[in-house]
Amino acid sequence: ARNTFSGTVTRVVPSGLVVRVEIDAGLPLVGVMTARSVSELGVAPGATLTAEFKAAATHLVHRRSR
């Protein structure tokens, strides 16, 4: 089964051949895409994006309060 969340891209951070994409989908989601895919799909802050992933690919990261 796949998990699907739609939201708005809030940040795009290039890092070599990959790009970190942050999405506000009612909860913060962060994904990694190739720079080529980001370019071809027009991923940019403000764009609507649907993230789809397998549960086994999920990593939960605890954030400390600021």
Give the pLDDT band of residue 1 (cuts 50, 70, 90).
low
Give, for 36, the enclosing helix (H) or strand (E): helix 35-41
**Is 33 within 8 Å of 14 (Cβ atoms)?**
no
For 8-41, the pLDDT digits (tens) are 999 999 988 899 999 999 989 999 999 999 999 9
**Is 39 within 8 Å of 55 (Cβ atoms)?**
no
Task: Report residue 31 as tokens.
Answer: 């994904």
For 47-60, the pLDDT digits (tens) are 999 998 887 777 77
Q: Which residue has the tokens 């940019």?
A: 44
Q: How far is CA 18 from CA 21, 33, 56, in A?
A: 10, 6, 21
- Residue 58's pLDDT is 75
Q: Write down the pTM of the prediction.
A: 0.80
- Residue 12's pLDDT is 97
